[in-house]
Amino acid sequence: MNSNYAVREATAHDAEGIARVHIDSWRTTYRGIVPDNVLENMDFAQRSELWRERLSSDRSNRSGGLILVATNLANEIVGFASGGKEREGNIPSEAEIYALYLLKEYSRKGIGRYLTRELALQLQQKNYSSMLVWVLARNLSRQFYQHLGGVESRRKLIDIGGEEFEEIAYRWENISTLLR
């Protein structure tokens, strides 16, 4: 990644910046995929409070989870990644990327790749050996994970705004492959 951006662990002071990236990236990425009312009803104050609670909780209560932010030269949050223990509990040593979002104008600059690699490195240091991420099948950005070597491993249906959507899990059998 170039020197115009930095990645660091998030703090409670980052809640509003993360919320803004979360909402803005959902609105640009999922427009035409999920119902418009879901996107329009995303509430900034509510999302900020949710992130503030997550970030304010004792790190030991995050189940080993990590939240990283990417900032520009003005120290504005332009992306974030979160991850930790795989949430379905199918594979004990498996980590999961819970979220990876960038503002649209910062995509294709290597920031997403750097966030993913830094998250993988820190999860590997917590003794996770494999990793997966769930992505909506209709999200064209899923090619990003394929490009990083993620292999489709399973599919499931989820509900968003009262509609069913297919999700695809991309998996890295060995988390080390993301560090190359």
Q: Model confidence over 64-82: pLDDT tens digits?
A: 589 999 999 999 999 999 9
Instruction: Encode 125-156: b = buried (16+ Cβ within 10 Å), e = exposed.
Output: eeebbbbbbbbbeebebbebbeebebeeeeee
Q: Model confidence over 120-164: pLDDT tens digits?
A: 999 999 999 999 999 999 998 899 999 999 999 999 999 999 999
Q: Radius of gyration of the chain from Cα atoms?
A: 16
- Better pLDDT: 58 or 122: 122
- Better pLDDT: 167 or 62: 167
- Domains of the chain (ranges; CATH) run 6-179 (3.40.630.30)
Distance of CA 118 to the CA centre of its chain: 12
Residue 143: enclosing H or E segment and its boundaries?
A: helix 143-147
Give me the mean pLDDT over the 83-100 stretch: 87
Instruction: State residue 179's pLDDT score.
Output: 86
Find tokens 């120290």 and name the residue: 75
Instruction: State residue 170's pLDDT score.
Output: 95
Instruction: State residue 96's pLDDT score.
Output: 95
| pLDDT of 116 strictly over 80 | yes
* pLDDT band per the 50, 70, 90 thresholds, residue 3: confident
Instruction: State residue 180's pLDDT score.
Output: 78
| pLDDT of 8 strictly over 60 | yes
Instruction: State residue 61's pLDDT score.
Output: 45
Supply 60's token pair. 């030991």
Instruction: State residue 76's pLDDT score.
Output: 96
Length of the chain: 180
Identify whether the C-beta of residue 156 lies closer than 8 Å to the C-beta of residue 173: no
* pLDDT band per the 50, 70, 90 thresholds, residue 101: very high
SS3 126: coil
Verdict on whether the full-model pTM lies above 0.85? yes
**Burial (CB count <10 Å: 0-12, 13-18, 19+), residue 32:** exposed
